[in-house]
């Protein structure tokens, strides 16, 4: 009721896994590594691909990978890709006709706050999230880890 969508949380966890080696990985592997619903993650990844944050390739030896370095992917970009550009628009109290000209009691406060939140998300990159995810302890032990890149099945 107050915060970002579940999809954003899934995206952050999953992309932290992808950050490990910069290689392409299968959605099901990433989902297992990040412990998020695999089928739902395909929908989340689609939005990130459309936003140009991830790239994907179909078919044999396909997969999904980061479009650029983790330090160049901001949380704001991820949030906008998943929740839309208007994710933090609107009056805190939900008043339809709240504006600069006719301001609700929280208007000025909220204008500053939501801008601060957006700026914070703009300056935190995916790189910062890796350390957090590492503390989960699973990052190095799943197929997304450098030692287990998305290799085609043995021929």
Which residues contact a copy of itself by CB under 8 A? 1-6, 8-10, 12-13, 75, 83-84, 87-88, 90-95, 97-98, 102-106, 109, 113-114, 116-117, 120-121, 124, 128-129, 132, 135-136
Which window, 44-52, 105-113, 119-127, 140-148, contacts DNA (CB under 7 A)?
Answer: 44-52
DSSP annotation string for 10-60: HHHHHHHHHHTTS--B-HHHHHHHHTS-HHHHHHHHHHHHHTTSEEEE-ST
- Sequence-distant (6+) residues with CB within 8 A of 103 are none
Helix (H) or strand (E) holding 65: strand 63-66
Does residue 142 touch DNA according to CB under 7 A? no
Does residue 56 touch DNA according to CB under 7 A? yes
What residues line the site for DNA (CB under 7 A)? 1, 5-7, 10, 25-28, 37-40, 42-43, 45-46, 49, 56-64, 150, 152-153, 155
């Amino acid at each position: 009721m107050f915060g970002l969508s579940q999809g954003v949380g899934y995206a952050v966890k999953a992309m932290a896994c992808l950050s490990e080696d910069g290689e392409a990985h299968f959605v099901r592997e990433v989902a297992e590594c990040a412990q998020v619903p695999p089928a739902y993650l395909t929908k989340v990844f689609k939005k990130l691909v459309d936003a140009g944050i991830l790239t994907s390739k179909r078919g044999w030896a396909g997969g999904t990978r980061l479009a650029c370095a983790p330090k160049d992917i901001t949380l704001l970009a991820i949030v906008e890709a998943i929740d839309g550009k208007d994710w933090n628009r609107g009056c805190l109290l939900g008043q339809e006709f709240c504006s600069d000209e006719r301001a609700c009691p929280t208007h000025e406060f909220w204008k500053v706050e939501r801008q601060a939140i957006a700026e914070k998300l703009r300056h935190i990159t995916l790189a910062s999230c890796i350390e957090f995810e590492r503390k989960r302890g699973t990052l190095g032990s799943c197929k997304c880890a450098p030692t287990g890149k998305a290799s085609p099945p043995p021929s």
